[in-house]
Amino acid sequence: MASEWTNRKGLGGELLAEFLGTAVLILFGDGVVAVVLLFLGFGAKDGSANSASWLLINWGWGFAVMLGVFVAGTVSGAHLNPAVTLGLAVRKVTPWNKVIPYIVAQVLGAFVAAGILFIEYANAMKSWETKFNVARGTLPSATGNSQFYFTYPHTALGGAVVPLWNAVFDQLLGTFLLVFLILAITDVRNSPPLSNLAPFIIGVLVVAIGMSFGTSAGYAINPARDFGPRVLAWLAGFGQAAFPGNGVGFSWYFWVPIVAPLVGGALAALIFNVTLHPILRDRFEKIPGADPSGLTVRDERSEIARPD
């Protein structure tokens, strides 16, 4: 068992790939949020800065996902998200005995990346808190510009904070769309992109989800993306804002971006299994190279000149 965990060609290599891929995801994803909040500003009265900043965040996260998938894709499949791992296990693509190790690697990667970002932006965080007199760990700090680590329910233009049930539905829906569309995009019988294009397409998918569904609760759609940085933020002094997730107009929010995405990912796999998958299987079962699970056939070019 020990050799399996340390073998670069076995589970050990897959876990390292998940760790590194998720770290890259958070470095670029939370990194773009930090830049927008701490340096570019977010909240001009005429709304123009809000729109431009929101689009920058959307595209930043899309590129972050793309780069993370490129890092881990051919080694582990680049789940980078416990909801994706769970969905693929429900889909019987990923063995159940890999689910917990993958999730641990993803959370650790997110945590380490958040620590790197804390070092990078510590001075800017302190500068914003001092200027606006926001003490770290208070309720206002949960939604302040120095907090770019974890998600929270947003406030609509009318002044109402998104209620807890709405945030749960938002996270469930966003993750459902993410996992269902990943399964559809990568099924070999559904005109999948070549292996070197799939990361870009999945990145665009994340951009689309952010643009359409990201404003209610920050579109975590990834338990590791929220939980790992949230732990780091708690250690960095955000206290109740991180755990249990209290802020102005909401409380005990920390579990929402963990539980709801896991449910959404599992539901996506179950519904894919009884809707699109049997249609594709029955209509295109004789496609050369297709297997019963619908796994994408690896682009043979990725096997050429691969160094040990």
Backbone angles phi, psi at 299, to 5 degrees: -65, 120
- Helix spans in the chain (H): 2-6, 11-35, 48-76, 82-90, 99-131, 164-186, 198-213, 223-233, 256-274, 276-284
pLDDT for position 302: 37
Q: Which of 221, 208, 207, 212 is nearest to 261 (CA)?
A: 221
Average pLDDT of the segment spanning 138-149: 94
Q: List, for residues 32-58, the tens digit of each pLDDT value.
A: 999 999 998 765 444 445 788 889 999
pLDDT for position 295: 53
Q: Is the pLDDT of residue 286 over 70?
A: no
Q: Is the pLDDT of residue 193 over 50?
A: yes
Q: Is the pLDDT of residue 208 over 80?
A: yes
pLDDT for position 46: 43
Average pLDDT of the segment spanning 81-99: 96
Which one has a higher pLDDT value, 157 or 235? 235
Instruction: Indicate the pLDDT class of residue 292, thresholds 50, 70 and 90.
Output: low
- C-alpha distances in angstroms, 184 versus 101, 179, 192, 299, 304? 25, 9, 8, 17, 27
pLDDT for position 69: 95
- Residue 56 CB coordination number (10 Å): 16
pLDDT for position 51: 80
pLDDT for position 5: 59
Q: In the chain, what are the domains?
A: 2-297 (1.20.1080.10)
Instruction: Indicate the pLDDT class of residue 187, thresholds 50, 70 and 90.
Output: confident
Average pLDDT of the segment spanning 160-183: 97
